Amino acid sequence: MSRLNLRLRPVVAFNVENKEHRELYARFICTGSWAGCPYTFEVDEPNGELQGTIQRKLLQYYGAKEFKLDVVDNRY
Is 42:70 a contact under the CB 8 Å cutoff? no
pLDDT tens digits for 37-52? 999 999 887 777 899 8
pLDDT for 4 equals 54
Work out the pLDDT band at 74, boundaries 50, 70, 90: low
Buried b (16+ CB within 10 A) or exposed e, 7-24: eeeeebebebeeeebbeb
CA distance linking residue 51 with residue 43, whole number of Å: 9
Q: What is the pTM of this model?
A: 0.77
CA distance linking residue 39 with residue 13, whole number of Å: 9
Q: Is the sign of the CA dihedral 44, 48, 54, 57 positive or negative?
A: negative
Work out the pLDDT band at 71, boundaries 50, 70, 90: low
pLDDT tens digits for 1-45? 455 555 689 999 999 999 999 999 999 999 999 998 999 999 887
